[in-house]
Amino acid sequence: MTGHGEKLSRKQEAAIGALLICSSLPEAASAAGVSQSSLRRWLKNETFARRYREERLRMLEGTINLLRQKSLAAVETLAGVADDKESPAGAPCRLRGHSSSWRSRVANCKTSPKGLRNWRK
């Protein structure tokens, strides 16, 4: 961590990775090969906690961006299926009533920063 003070050990780096992918602290400690008490102590350390927050934020931003990209494609695909006269008979009937509403919401999100806030209306 250049420019942020002390560097983290390999075990601490592994622990951060484990915290990001494991569902609990005991599971993360086991995956990183450290004790739960060490992991709890490290989480109280300013340098470790800051690095963990940074990595968690980076992972969250990546996840949100991927969901945003994929959800728009999914909605467009769903709308295409709803409008497709060649699709199985049940699909257009089940989806037709919702496709125009979804299309307008997607278009609003693409063009307006307020679009996401209005998504559930």
56, pLDDT greater than 70 = yes
- pTM value is 0.57
What one-character-per-residue DSSP string does 8-28 give? PPHHHHHHHHHHHH-SSHHHH
Question: Could you give the number of structural domains in the chain?
Answer: 1
Domain membership flag for residue 39: no
Q: What local confidence, expressed as pLDDT, does residue 2 receive?
A: 44
Q: What local confidence, expressed as pLDDT, does residue 75 receive?
A: 87
Per-residue pLDDT of 72-99, as tens digits, reads 888 888 888 777 777 665 454 555 555 5
Domain membership flag for residue 11: no
Domain membership flag for residue 21: no
Domain membership flag for residue 74: yes
Domain membership flag for residue 88: yes
Contact 29, 15 (CB under 8 A): yes
Domain membership flag for residue 14: no
Per-residue pLDDT of 4-48, as tens digits, reads 567 999 999 999 999 999 999 999 999 999 999 999 999 999 999
Domain membership flag for residue 33: no
Contacts (Cβ under 8 Å, ≥6 apart) of 38 = 15, 29
Element (DSSP H or E) covering residue 99: helix 90-111
Domain membership flag for residue 31: no
C-alpha distances (whole Å) from 113 to each of 63, 73, 110, 117 are: 19, 19, 8, 8
**Which domain range does residue 119 map to?**
65-121
Q: What local confidence, expressed as pLDDT, does residue 119 receive?
A: 47
57, pLDDT greater than 80 = yes
Q: Provide the percentage of residues in the chain whose pLDDT is more than 90.
A: 51
